[in-house]
């Protein structure tokens, strides 16, 4: 069985960023090599400091956004970026940004949070997935 | 299962305010910081911990000594084996 988990993170909404971060943390805890490929809104959410003002949630549940964000703040649920940092602290979690999105929005690696360590192409990403699991969020 | 009452805990983390997978993260940090033979405990209110913690302990090759109810939470006790 492959010991690799890859996540394509297309969305930049807080609910999906949370889900991706928690899934990545659990996989890292269980000793899996985790690779996260940020593309489109996933890249935008990782722009330096963007997390401070990002209160977007999935369109189909937007009526729940105020309740979710209030509950997260009241219960002091760690933010998604903090969860990604913990994941990297305990295991092998690589976060890379899609080169095409970077070009599209004229971003450089240094414009992104330091948890993102590289810019990668889509073929190279799939090449490293090999026979592991790949998820799209 | 060993008698939990007679085990002396080297170090404990109170992760009752922490959410999945926070309590497991706390335990992993304690285990990493500890020495072989240390008995480490974490308090959790997260129901996922009851599955996550024993699964992680087995996978990581440590010894799960057990869990016990504590106030409004559960205490998980682990011996660092390597």
- Ordered by where they begin, the domains of chain A are 4-136 (3.40.1260.10)
Whether the CB-CB separation of A96 and A37 falls below 8 Å is answered with yes
Q: What pLDDT score does A31 carry?
A: 93
Q: What pLDDT score does A1 carry?
A: 62
Phi, psi of B74 (to 5 degrees): -125, 140
**Which whole number is the average pLDDT over A48-65?**
93
**Which whole number is the average pLDDT over B12-16?**
95
Q: What pLDDT score does A64 carry?
A: 92
- Whole-angstrom distance, CA of residue B48 vs CA of residue A89: 21
A74 or B41: which carries more pLDDT confidence? B41
Q: Which CATH superfamily is domain B8-79 in?
A: TusA-like domain (3.30.110.40)
**Which whole number is the average pLDDT over A88-115?**
96
Q: What pLDDT score does B1 carry?
A: 60
User: Which own/partner contact pairs does A50-53 have at CB distance under 8 Å and 24+ positions apart?
Assistant: A51/A79, A51/A80, A51/A81, A51/A113
- Every domain of chain B and the residues it spans: 8-79
Q: How confident is the model at residue B80 (pLDDT cuts 50, 70, 90)?
A: very high
Q: How many CB atoms lie within 10 A of CB A98?
A: 22
Q: Does A29 touch chain B (CB under 8 A)?
A: yes
Outline where DSSP puts E strands in chain A: 4-9, 33-38, 93-98, 116-120, 133-136
* Whole-complex ipTM: 0.80
pTM for the whole structure: 0.89
CB-CB under 8 Å, B59 with A26: no
Give the residue from B23, B28, B49, B52 with the most A CB atoms within 10 Å of its CB, the best one to mutate: B28
Active site residue: B17, B19, B20, B29, which one? B20
Q: Does A114 touch chain B (CB under 8 A)?
A: no
């Amino acid at each position: 069985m492959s010991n690799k988990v890859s996540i394509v993170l297309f969305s930049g909404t807080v609910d999906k960023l949370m889900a991706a971060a928690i899934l990545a943390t659990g996989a890292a805890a269980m000793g899996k090599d985790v690779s996260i490929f940020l593309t489109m809104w996933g890249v935008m959410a990782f722009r330096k400091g963007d997390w401070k003002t990002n209160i977007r949630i999935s369109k189909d549940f937007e009526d729940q956004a105020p309740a979710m964000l209030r509950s997260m703040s009241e219960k002091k649920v760690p933010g998604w970026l903090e969860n990604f940092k913990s994941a990297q602290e305990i295991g092998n979690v690589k976060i890379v940004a899609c080169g095409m999105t970077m070009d599209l929005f004229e971003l450089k690696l240094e414009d992104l949070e330091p948890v993102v360590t590289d810019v990668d192409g889509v073929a190279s990403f799939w090449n490293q997935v090999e026979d592991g699991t790949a998820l799209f969020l | 299962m060993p008698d939990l009452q007679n085990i002396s805990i080297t170090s404990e983390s109170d992760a009752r305010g922490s959410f999945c997978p926070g309590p497991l993260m706390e335990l992993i940090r304690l285990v990493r910081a500890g020495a072989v033979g240390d008995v480490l405990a974490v308090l959790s209110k997260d129901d996922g911990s009851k599955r996550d913690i024993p699964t992680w302990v087995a996978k990581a090759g440590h010894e799960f000594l057990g869990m016990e109810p504590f106030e409004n939470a559960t205490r998980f006790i682990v011996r660092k084996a390597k």
